[in-house]
Amino acid sequence: MKGPLRIGIVGGAGWLGGAIAESILEAGLTTSSSLSLSYRSQQSGQFPDAFWTSDNQALVERADVVVLCVRPQDWTALSVHTKGKLVISVMAGIRLSALSERHKTDRVVRTLPNAAAKVRRSYTPWIGSVGVGEGDRAIVRAIFNACGTQDEVERENDIDYLTGLTGSGPAFPALLAAAMMKDAVAHGLPNDIARRGVTTVLLGAGRLLEHGDQCPNEIVEAFLSYRGTTAAAIEHMRTAGFDDAIAEGLQAAFRKSVSMGETP
């Protein structure tokens, strides 16, 4: 990749579109003058030197890479002809074949970043259509490495499963944090102390997982072997159905992702 990429983000006024734009500008993949962003109802106050438009086809004309950053339910109303350009979708459920047919290109990539792109900590799985070459793959890797980390997967089915596991990712620790905080406050702790304690625990756990050599199951087993307070908590959580609830939730997300890509 020589020079800044001409990147257009359909839905650039949204939180994810804005996070991707921030990431690629910060990484030097493009410049404000080479960045095009579209909006549906109101232009964002971010990126004042970028090209803003409510005309998605005008955005496509200015871009070499088009990122579709809209809600899946809004995609049915999005009709743009990309003329063979590289199209990167961040929408859950929408199949490669449908994207290729709708936008008139055989260079289509499905990706699934998550909300942590805002802080450059997203995990983004992706898969490309048969028309996606090595140059296109390098662009996809660069964009989503700027947002955090990325992996190319082999099957669209993998993307559908990862929609729940990683696409929804930040919601799950937040759900755990909310439950822990609720219990702490119920036991009389002030809200600010409960929040600080829970947040610090989760952040610390994340850093241990990121920088340690042990896999999560090894860490759990190590705590169980101490037979102390942590082991008591883990055993009661599992007896109450913790593991089953997680599995059932991920399966529900997987089914939802598949259904979102089905033709009405």
Residues 54-88 pLDDT 10s: 999 999 999 999 999 999 999 989 989 999 999 99
Residue 169 pLDDT greater than 80, yes or no: no
End-to-end CA distance of the chain: 39
pLDDT exceeds cutoff 70 at 232: yes
- Output the pTM of the full model: 0.87
HSE-CB for 212 with a 13 A CA cutoff: 12
Structure tokens at 39: 């909006």
Summary mean pLDDT of the chain: 93
Helices (H), the chain: 15-26, 56-62, 72-75, 96-103, 134-146, 156-162, 171-186, 191-211, 216-226, 229-239, 242-260
Q: Tell me the CATH class for 7-154.
A: alpha beta
Distances in whole angstroms, Cα of residue 76 to Cα of each of 14, 98, 99, 167: 18, 10, 10, 21
178 token code pair: 């909310």
In the predicted structure, residue 181 carries a pLDDT above the cut 90: yes
Statement: residue 175 has pLDDT above 70: yes
pLDDT of amino acid 195:
96
Question: Is the distance from CB of 84 to CB of 104 less than 8 angstroms?
Answer: yes
CATH fold of 171-260 reads ProC C-terminal domain-like fold (1.10.3730)
Alpha helices in 80-215 (DSSP H): 96-103, 134-146, 156-162, 171-186, 191-211
What are the structure tokens assigned to 161, written together? 């499963």
> What is the model's pLDDT at position 1?
54
Q: What dihedral angle (degrees, nearest 10) is formed by the CA atoms of 31, 34, 40, 43?
A: 50
For residue 152, what is the DSSP state? Answer: E
Q: In what order do the strands lie in the sheet with 7-10?
A: 51-53, 35-38, 7-10, 65-68, 86-89, 108-111, 122-128, 148-152
pLDDT at residue 172 greater than cutoff 80? yes
Q: What is the pLDDT of residue 2?
A: 66
Cα–Cα distance, 25 to 37 (Å, whole number) = 13
Q: Using 50, 70 and 90 to split pLDDT, how confident is the model at 262? A: confident
pLDDT digits (tens, 9 = 90+) for 193-218: 999 999 999 999 998 888 888 899 99
Q: What integer is the mean pLDDT of 255-263?
A: 82
Reduce the DSSP state of residue 129 to 3 states and report it.
coil
Q: In which band, very low, low, confident or very high, does the pLDDT at 236 lie, cut at 50, 70 and 90?
A: very high
Task: Please count the other Cβ atoms lying within 10 Å of the Cβ belonging to residue 256.
Answer: 15
Domain coordinates of the chain in residue numbers?
7-154, 171-260
pLDDT of residue 44: 83
Query: What proportion of the chain, given as a percentage, has pLDDT over 70?
Result: 98
pLDDT at 263: 56
Is residue 140 within 8 A of residue 150, CB to CB? The reply is yes
What is the C-alpha to C-alpha distance for residues 152 and 143, in angstroms, rounded to an integer? Answer: 13
Structure token pair of residue 264: 């009405």
